[in-house]
Chain A
Amino acid sequence: MNAKDWIVPLAILAAAAVLAPLPLVAGSYWMALLVNVLMYAVLATAWALFSGPTHYVSLATAAFFGLGAYTMAFLGEKLPLALVYPVAALIGAVIATIVGLSTLRLSGVYFVIFTFGLAELVRQLVTWAEAKYGGTVGRFVFIDVTQQGIYWMLLGVLVLVLLTGFLIQRSRLGWALKAIGEDETVARHAGIDTTVAKVAVFVISATFMTVVGAIMAPRWTYIDPSIAFNPIISFQVLIMALLGGAARLYGPILGVVPLATLFEILQANFPNSFSILLGLAFLVIVYFVPSGIVGLIDQGRDVLGRAGRRRAHPAE
């Protein structure tokens, strides 16, 4: 790597260094909001690692997030805490490999529906297993992780997912994904093993989502399948990434910050009509910002660039 290549990793680390001390000054309301923003920042960035370049829209976020949360609920008091996170990551990776190998031959709308069905299937399985063997559907999660601890862990994972995305984008794997998103047939005939490329990044993406679930579980104290596998998580992650723009590494975060804040405000003030307002937000975004904030930035840059060239060559 030459000097220029270090800019992005250094910028990521610098941003994290600025954000790291916030828990020392923020009150509990602000901490709750910040944790929520960070959680969605990791989920949306992880989502875009796979779905951004390939254009395979996944609604399986809640499935992996919930798996992570349940891993924590089951093992949090049985294993040393530091071990639960890697175990959750491993479970996420294994399940994602199985799911990836069996579904990534599907394309377009079939893939979307399958991933949505997957999240529901896992939720129903957990509900059934809990009712049959646990005797009760919900579970208390009494694990002593402070709000600050959760914040710092999420921040650390956010740095990791951004650095991972940065490395993937520059690699052959990143180019393979871009080619797949453009035209999968061309990609195969250009020599790309499309199955391996898709499964690899689907697994990386899902692993991050699972770890986020494990980190978040202690915050709720009580979880049941309808909380941990809430399909709204998948939809929110999708719409945040789309608002920001999934084509760039930093794009999803641009969508997460305003939307996570907005959803928080809506949920606090209009708890009964939240779903309606959420739906309206989706419609407005898809209608008015179809290529995301990143798309608007690029358009702006193009316009400025053209204006600049006109100034430089007034005769043209």
Chain B
Amino acid sequence: MQPLLELHGVSKAFGGLRAVDGLTASVRRGEVVGLVGPNGSGKTTALNLITGNLTADSGAILFEGRPIERAAAHRITRAGIARTFQLVRVMPSLTLAENVAVGAMFGARACSPAEAQERALPLLARVGLAARADERARSLTYIDQKRLELARALAAEPQLLLLDEWLAGLNPTELKDGIALIAALAADGMTIVMVEHVMDAIRALCTRCVVMNAGTKIAEGSPAEALSDPAVIKAYLGDDDA
């Protein structure tokens, strides 16, 4: 079966820094792939390349077999890839319902403003924010803004959901809820790529891990395999400790 997402030798440099350096990876439909690696290893840049926030210097990115490495961000969203941001981004003076409605209105199943408002409510309920639908997004706590961002991404009705450290900064209870929510999405058949540092979440959720260091893939496999790979331990801990 054709992978949903394929990266072939994708590279991106910022000045002299090769943030992503010949990255090759693929994601099959229904997988939950953890994209892990030390800080600065190029994970977020990889997400930015996939979603069209940045344009790759070289290499190919295929989504459902079609090249998207040159496509604008809005086209990639409409094609079926939605994302959240590492530093949470909501539309602060719009209400929660409006934030999600914008996602629905322009996403893969674009619709009228009225229909978008209707589609927003069940999604807010899904992330546990239904009671606050008419509040402005700026009044939410950091954690609730993350939930809102997820609802907005889901409103685009993506084939592929990219989560950039969506579980970072949660307390243990919130983490448990967050993991349950992602697990429920996965159980519904959503394909997910998650950049994550919370190892418990990776072990609990991911069917497969891709480990990056210095812009390239250094290991791949089940979470247990990938995280015990000597190259991975070396990347995280350095030579002396390994």
A interface with B by C-beta (< 8 Å) = 170-172, 174-176, 178-179, 182-183, 185-194
Contact = CB atoms under 8 A, between A and B. Distances in A.
Contacts of A190: 74, 77, 102-103, 106-107, 152, 156
A175 B72 contact: no
Given A189-B53, A190-B152, A191-B107, A182 B74 contact: no
Nearest to A188: B73
A179 B91 contact: yes
B112 interface: yes
A166 to B, nearest CB: 13
A59 to B, nearest CB: 24
The residue among B73, B77, B110 with the most chain A CB atoms within 10 A of its own CB is: B73
B105 A172 contact: yes
Contacts of A192: 74, 102, 106
Contact of B83 (A176, A179, A187, A189): A189
Contacts of A193: 72, 74
B206 interface: no
A176 B112 CA distance: 12
Given A189-B77, A191-B156, A182 B94 contact: yes
Contacts of B108: 191
Interface residues of B, number: 31
A191 B113 contact: no
Contacts of B102: 175, 178-179, 187, 190, 192
Contacts of B232: none
Interface in B50-97: 51-53, 72-74, 77-78, 82-83, 85, 89-94
B19 interface: no
B101 interface: yes
A194 B72 CA distance: 10
B113 A176 contact: no
Given A188-B74, A191-B74, A170 B113 contact: yes
Contacts, number: 75
Contacts of A189: 51, 53, 73-74, 77, 82-83
A241 B25 CA distance: 52
B91 A183 contact: yes
A186 B90 contact: yes
B84 to A, nearest CB: 9
B152 A175 contact: no
Given A183-B89, A185-B53, A191 B101 contact: no
B77 A191 contact: yes
A171 B105 CA distance: 10
The residue among B74, B85, B91, B105 with the most chain A CB atoms within 10 A of its own CB is: B74
Interface string B18-62: 000000000000000000000000000000000111000000000
Contact of A186 (B91, B107, B112): B91
A54 B83 CA distance: 23
10 smallest A-B Cβ distances: which pairs? A182-B91, A191-B106, A191-B77, A188-B73, A191-B78, A179-B102, A186-B89, A191-B107, A192-B106, A193-B74
16 contacts: A172-B106, A172-B112, A175-B113, A176-B106, A178-B94, A182-B91, A182-B92, A183-B91, A183-B92, A185-B53, A189-B77, A191-B74, A191-B77, A191-B78, A191-B110, A192-B74
Contacts of B94: 178-179, 182
Given A172-B105, A191-B107, A185 B89 contact: yes
Contacts of B77: 188-191
Nearest to B94: A182
Nearest to A178: B94
A187 B89 CA distance: 10
Contacts of A185: 53, 85, 89
Given A175-B105, A182-B92, A191-B103, 7 more contacts: A172-B112, A178-B91, A178-B102, A183-B90, A183-B91, A186-B90, A190-B106
A187 B98 CA distance: 13
Contacts of A179: 91, 94, 102
The residue among B77, B101, B106 with the most chain A CB atoms within 10 A of its own CB is: B106
Contacts of A183: 89-92
Nearest to B83: A189
Contacts of B156: 190-191
A187 B106 CA distance: 9
Contacts of B105: 172, 175
A175 B116 CA distance: 11
Contact of A175 (B51, B52, B92, B101): B101
B80 to A, nearest CB: 10
A179 B116 CA distance: 14
A76 B156 CA distance: 51
A167 to B, nearest CB: 12
B74 to A, nearest CB: 5
The residue among A175, A182, A188, A189 with the most chain B CB atoms within 10 A of its own CB is: A189
Contacts of B113: 170-172, 174-175
